[in-house]
Every structure is written in structure tokens, then in C-alpha cells.
Amino acid sequence: MGTPLQFSHLPIRDTIFLLCDYYIKLSLKNQNVEIIFRNDSSISFKVSSGTNRLEKGKDTPTGIYTVQSKSPIAISKQFENAELINWIGFNGNIGFHGLKGNSYYWRLGKAPSSHGCIRISREDGEKLYSMVKRGTPVMVVDKEPARIFAFAKTEDFDANKDILLNERGIYQSKILRQRLEGLYNGKSYTANFGRIFFDGNTILKPGGYSIGVAEMIASSQQPQFSDQLDYFTPDNSTTNKFMIFNKKDSVAKSIYISSHTLLHIGK
């Protein structure tokens, strides 16, 4: 039996499709946060993320999250009841906020300086606070991610085939983990299934999901030959259609993978 035919079209990523009109992208490398809109426009603000170089400090973790909470003023009991101005929490006790005074301003956009949260000027924090809502998707990146966001329309979602992310679940976590493993192992077209959608209203529990690392993606991917493949708008995701979503059951009980044999060259 010969070697399986492979695809080497790059870049390839695992795509999560957004039904909302904007999302937040935080770059730890560039120390800035962007609000990216469906119409391709964006607004950027300078920030300063967390660092483990501080006592009791930790690096801000990468991942996919949602805005979980908002408050004009939040109190940090961990750090001497410090006032966190225009608090926007997205991963438990990690979130965007301003502080009293301007002594931290000079580090914004330059270097991490917080104990884990994302510091932003009070002026920019007020703008960010007014523009986002609970449930807004948040992507925190450092290196080039293996998973990306792309906008889609409501009519693109097929309840019989696609997955709409819910609050959180063990099977949902397993599916998302396996999709990254498929990319890394060169089997994304054969192991991954279904399109993943985010509605922009669901609030994920703390911890979020991994964005993966692009440099770990296999340069060649085994193809899936099937007349069941269908697409809507240009799609960079690694998907095929071996997945059923039954609205009467949980996501966990409604997913199955049909056995499918790859075509090989030189049988």
C-alpha cells in the first residue's frame, strides 16, 4: 500500500466562527488590545499584562475566553483593597482595569507590569468598557496561534451539523482538544469534524480554551475525500462533516464519527 496523499496548503488553522459583530484580541507580545469588528475595522489600546517577575505575580495566560463580568469599580482584596477602575473580567480574577494615579502609564504598550491582570489607562479603559458586553469573545495570544476567529452569518450555522459552544463541558473540551491534535498530527481533515460557532452571548467558565501554537501544525495534512463536504464563505478551518448535532440531546450524546477510509496512491 502506498503513502496516503497529503495536502500542504498553508497556512491552515482551526477556525471558530463568530456570529457576533466584534471580538477582543489581546497581544501579549505587542502589549496592546484590539476590538476587531465584522466590517474589518478595529480600535487599539496600549496595555500592560501580567508577569511572574513580580512577587505573587503571574504571566497572563493565552487562550479563548469571554467577558464574564463588568463593574465600574471592583475591589482587589488580594492586593490591599486596590480599586480596579472599569473592571472587565474574562478569566476569573483576570481582567482589564485601570488604577488610580498615572504612575503605571509609562509601561503601557511597552512591558508587562501587573500581577496577572491587564492594566489600561483610565481614559482608554472607559472607552473599552463602554464598547464591550458580557459574552464578548476574547482571544489572548503570544506566539502565532493554531486557532483563529472568523466572522460568519447566522444563516451559515447548521444545527444538524455544526457545534455552538456552550458555557463549558467535558465533551466540548475534548472536541476542541482533539481538533488541535489533528492539526499537529497532520490529520485535521480526517480527524476533525463539524464547524465550531460562538454566538457572542455565551459566557464561558474560567479557564477558557487553548489557542494552540501554529508552529506545531504539521506541514502536510492527509486529505478527506468526500461528497459530504460543503462550505459557505471562504473557510480556513480544518473541518469535515462527520458530525451530527441533535437539538434534543446534549452535545456529548449527539456526536459521532463515521468511519471513512482514505484513498491511497499506489494500491
Give the tens place of pLDDT for each residue, 192-212.
Answer: 778 999 999 999 989 999 999
Domain presence at residue 147: yes
Does 160 share its domain with 129? no
- Indicate if 165 and 189 belong to the same structural domain: yes
Q: In terms of domains, do 169 and 116 share one?
A: no
Q: How many percent of the chain have pLDDT more than 70?
A: 79
> Quick one: pLDDT at residue 258?
32
Please indicate, yes or no, whether residues 129 and 169 belong to a single structural domain of this protein: no
Amino acid in position 180? L
Q: Are 169 and 252 in contact (CB under 8 A)?
A: yes
Name the 3-class secondary structure at 34.
strand
C-alpha cell at 192: 476533525
For residue 102, the domain's CATH number is: 2.40.440.10
Residue 59 lies in a domain: yes
Domain edge (last residue) among 73, 106, 135: 135
Task: Say if 15 falls within a structural domain.
Answer: no
Does 129 share its domain with 148? no
Indicate the residue among 96, 118, 135 that finishes a domain. 135
Q: Based on the fold, state whether residues 130 and 154 are members of the same structural domain.
A: no
Q: How far is CA 207 from CA 57, 120, 123, 151, 260, in A?
A: 18, 22, 29, 23, 34
Tell me, what's the pLDDT at 38?
A: 98
Distance separating alpha carbons of residues 245 and 266, to the nearest angstrom: 37
Mean pLDDT lowest for which of 26-40, 167-181, 198-212, 226-240?
226-240
261 in a structural domain: no
Task: Determine, yes or no, domain membership for 10.
Answer: no
pLDDT band at 184 (very low <50, low <70, confident <90, very high): very high
- One domain for residues 165 and 86: no
State phi, psi for 14 to the nearest 5 degrees: -90, 120
Verify that 31 and 126 share a domain, yes or no. yes
- Structural domain contains residue 266: no
| Cell numbers found for residue 41 | 475595522
* Nearest Cα residue to 18 out of 206, 162, 154: 154
For residue 103, the Cα-to-chain-centroid distance in whole angstroms is: 32
pLDDT above 90 covers what percent of the chain? 65
Is 236 contained in some domain? yes
Claim to verify: residue 154 and residue 116 sit in the same structural domain? no
The domain in which residue 150 lies consists of: 143-254
Please indicate, yes or no, whether residues 125 and 162 belong to a single structural domain of this protein: no
Q: What mean pLDDT comes out for the span 117-128?
A: 98
pLDDT interval class at 259 (50, 70, 90): very low
Q: What pLDDT is stored for residue 225 in this prediction?
A: 59
Residue 176 lies in a domain: yes
Asked whether the predicted pLDDT for residue 244 surpasses 90, the reply is no
Residues 130 and 29 in one domain: yes
How far from 171 is each of 133, 165, 210, CA to CA, in Å? 27, 11, 15
Give the per-residue pLDDT at 22: 98
Q: Which of 118, 135, 152 is the last residue of a domain?
A: 135
Q: Are residues 117 and 170 in the same domain?
A: no
**Among candidate residues 175, 151, 148, the one with its CA nearest the CA of residue 163:** 175
Of 235, 226, 147, the C-alpha closest to 184 is: 147
Question: What's the pLDDT at 103?
Answer: 96
More confident residue, 74 or 232: 74
Average pLDDT value for the chain:
83
**Total tally of structural domains belonging to the chain:** 2
How many other CB atoms are found less than 10 A from the CB of residue 61? 17
